[in-house]
């Protein structure tokens, strides 16, 4: 992003990394490639990623979003979203003879595998996460008899385990790092032999976006997080901004939800976006602010991300069989060009 000479003296601090993570990039790409390969309609169970704009863009191209696998016609093709599904959902899809393409983020799949392994070893598993979130439903479904969901440090008091020496915690991938630490500390006070997951379950993208926000929040009179209300990691970014010293913080889906009143008297605005947010929506916010007294844009980078995930194997094989190249727009997307517009 460059500088502008519009009227006013305010500064926009833009967090980096922000926006698309590797799992979202892949999931959106899966639907786009499936549409190219098979033509519409392609059914998608739940929102492919939690972002209104992405869902609307893909709907226009012929994706049909359904809440339930039962709503997909027998024998049709369905994409499972980035948040993952439980074995029960897979069983329903099989029973209905659906052709499935699994866009579950590999980092969510990793947590599923941990849950399955610890359940096999007969642990009580504490899943730190938000009840009702699709990812939590999917992970929980891997071992419902062994898993309890804990949403906050306060809920730790209600946990009951069979054997305090065989308890492990795992987590949703998009939580607040600090709040999760508090929850785990409380769990460990109650169960000193609590075991940790083999590696961090809160994913690299969630962590990196929180670190970037923590860095700019103390300088921001107002913090704007671009992201949808049902996007866990976006909502966490608002909380992290407030905890880290931002004067106020607002989440918006897009620029036209911004209210000029929020910026009265402010000289520095912090800006970031959740992991499911296309860069075009951030650019719109920058332009909106530049037209209202914040001409200077400064990007504050705390990490450079290079991770990418390959497309699902069955999709790759069918693309190869029909002579379709596997071009992925990562390089362009890293510098912020949105591919769904």
Instruction: Give the interface with ligand SF4 as residue ranges (CB under 6 A).
Output: 21-24, 82, 105, 107-108, 173-174, 203, 205-206, 233, 275
Say whether 85 sits in a helix, a strand or coil.
coil
Instruction: Output 50 or 186, the one with its CB closest to ligand SF4.
Output: 50
Q: CB–CB of 304/19 below 8 Å?
A: no
- Which residues are CB-contacts of 321 (< 8 A; sequence separation ≥ 6)? none
The answer to the question of whether 306 is labelled as a binding residue is no
If the CB atoms of residues 82 and 212 are measured against ligand SF4, the closer one turns out to be 82
Q: Which SS3 state, helix, strand or coil, does residue 143 take?
A: coil
Q: Where are the alpha helices (DSSP H) in the chain?
A: 22-38, 52-60, 87-95, 106-120, 134-140, 177-190, 204-216, 232-243, 279-290, 313-321, 330-334
Distance CA 228, CA 246 (A): 20
Catalytic-residue membership of 135:
yes
| Residue (24 or 149) nearer to ligand SF4, CB | 24
Q: How far is the CB of 25 from ligand SF4 (least distance, A)?
A: 8
Which of 134, 135, 142, 279 is flagged as catalytic?
135
Least distance (Å) between residue 275 CB and ligand SF4:
4
59 marked among binding-site residues: no
- Encoded tokens for 126: 């504490």
- Helix 204-216 to helix 177-190 angle (10° resolution) is 110
Q: Is 339 annotated as a binding residue?
A: no
Whether residue 10 contacts residue 295, with contact meaning beta carbons closer than 8 Å, is answered with yes
- Minimum CB separation of residue 188 from ligand SF4 in Å reads 24
Whichever of 51 and 100 has its CB closer to ligand SF4, that residue is 51
Closer residue to ligand SF4 (CB): 124 or 134: 134
- 273 appears as a binding residue in the annotation: no
CB 237 → ligand SF4: shortest distance, Å? 12
CB 65 within 8 A of CB 44: yes
Least distance from ligand SF4 to the Cβ atom of residue 36, Å: 22
Task: Give the C-alpha separation, 185 to 188, whole Å.
Answer: 5
Residue 250 annotated as lining a ligand binding site? no
- 112 marked ligand binding residue: no
Shortest-Cβ-distance residue relative to ligand SF4: 23
**Spatial distance between the Cα atoms of 210 and 215, rounded to a whole number of angstroms:** 9
Q: Which residues are annotated as a binding site for dimethylallyl diphosphate?
A: 50, 83, 133, 231-233, 276
Q: Which residues are annotated as a binding site?
A: 21, 50, 83, 105, 133, 173, 203, 231-233, 276
> Which residues carry out catalysis?
135
């Amino acid at each position: 992003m460059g500088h502008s000479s519009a009227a006013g003296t305010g500064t926009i601090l833009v967090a980096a990394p922000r926006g698309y993570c590797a799992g979202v990039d892949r999931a959106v790409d899966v639907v786009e490639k499936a549409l190219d390969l098979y033509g519409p309609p392609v059914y998608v169970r739940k929102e492919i990623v939690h972002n209104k704009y992405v869902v609307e863009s893909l709907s226009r191209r012929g994706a049909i979003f359904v809440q339930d696998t039962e709503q997909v016609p027998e024998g049709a093709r369905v994409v499972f979203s980035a948040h993952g599904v439980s074995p029960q959902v897979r069983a329903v899809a099989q029973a209905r003879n659906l052709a499935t393409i699994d866009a579950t983020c590999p980092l969510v799949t990793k947590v599923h595998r941990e849950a399955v392994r610890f359940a096999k070893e007969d642990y009580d598993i504490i899943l730190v996460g938000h009840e009702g979130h699709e990812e939590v439903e999917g992970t929980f479904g891997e071992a419902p008899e062994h898993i309890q969901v804990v949403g906050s440090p306060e809920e730790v008091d209600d946990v009951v385990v069979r054997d305090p020496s065989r308890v492990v915690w795992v987590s949703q991938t998009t939580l607040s790092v600090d709040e999760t630490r508090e929850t785990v500390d409380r769990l460990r006070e109650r169960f000193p032999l609590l075991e940790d997951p083999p590696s961090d379950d809160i994913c690299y993208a969630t962590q990196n976006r929180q670190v970037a926000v923590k860095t700019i929040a103390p300088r921001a009179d107002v913090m704007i997080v671009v992201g949808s209300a049902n996007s866990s990691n976006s909502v966490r970014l608002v909380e992290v901004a407030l905890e880290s010293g931002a004067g106020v913080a607002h989440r918006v889906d897009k620029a036209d939800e911004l209210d000029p009143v929020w910026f009265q008297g402010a000289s520095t605005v912090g800006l970031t976006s959740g992991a499911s947010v296309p860069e075009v929506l951030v650019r719109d916010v920058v332009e909106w602010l530049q037209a209202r007294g914040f001409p200077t844009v400064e990007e504050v980078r705390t990490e450079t991300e290079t991770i990418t995930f390959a497309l699902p194997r069955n999709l790759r094989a069918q693309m190869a069989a029909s002579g379709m190249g596997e071009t992925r727009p990562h390089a362009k997307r890293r510098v912020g060009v949105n591919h769904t517009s």
